[in-house]
């Protein structure tokens, strides 16, 4: 299976070894991962002697993953839809999980670069940085510092 993160495409293969253990191959790298579900909906992953806590959510064909303080949006790549999204030049950024707005780092009308942090949220004592998906302009802000947001809530309108 292939997944796309920003403009990079990764080949991913996951094979179960037992009830809680998997072989995960990403590109040329293979890892044995032991999993344990957590009471708060997350996962404790043990890989290469490290423990990692991960959270995931799905919306349509997108998968949202929060690992080690970083958010990743995974999609199944489709050259035609990728071109269409880029050509349209518009995008709305939404929350991936409920939380509170800690900081709004941009203003409406501001030009931003791909990867630049626009909003910082706090959810389950974790800091979640919402970044610009591409170079563009913040069209409209829809949240303020201190505001509580729900999963899927629109944070800002973005145009690339």
Q: Distance between CA 77 and CA 133 in Å, rounded?
A: 15
Query: Distance between CA 16 and CA 8 in Å, rounded?
Result: 26
Structure confidence at residue 85 as a pLDDT band (50, 70, 90): very low
Q: What is the domain partition of the chain in residue ranges?
A: 2-74, 89-159
Q: CA angle, 55 as apex, 128 and 153 as ends, to 5°? A: 55
Radius of gyration over every alpha carbon of the chain, rounded to an integer in angstroms:
17
pLDDT at 51 over 50: yes
Topology adopted by domain 89-159: OB fold (Dihydrolipoamide Acetyltransferase, E2P) (2.40.50)
pLDDT at 136 over 50: yes
Where is 72: in which H helix or E strand? strand 70-74
User: What mean pLDDT, rounded, does the chain reach?
Assistant: 81
In this prediction the pTM is 0.47
Cα distance between residue 109 and residue 60, in whole Å: 29
């Amino acid at each position: 299976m292939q997944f796309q993160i920003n403009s990079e495409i990764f080949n991913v293969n996951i094979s179960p070894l037992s009830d809680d253990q998997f072989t995960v191959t990403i590109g040329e790298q293979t890892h044995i991962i032991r999993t344990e579900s957590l009471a708060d909906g997350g996962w404790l992953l043990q890989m290469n002697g490290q423990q990692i806590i991960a959270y995931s959510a799905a919306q349509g064909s997108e998968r949202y993953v929060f690992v080690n303080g970083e958010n990743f949006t995974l999609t199944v790549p489709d050259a035609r839809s990728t071109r269409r999204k880029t050509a349209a030049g518009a995008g709305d950024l939404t929350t991936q999980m409920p939380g509170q707005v800690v900081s709004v780092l941009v203003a409406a009308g501001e030009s931003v670069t791909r990867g630049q942090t626009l909003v910082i949220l706090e959810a389950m004592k974790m800091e979640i940085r919402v970044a610009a998906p591409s170079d563009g302009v913040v069209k409209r802000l829809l949240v303020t510092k201190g505001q509580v947001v729900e999963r899927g809530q629109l944070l800002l309108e973005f145009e690339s």
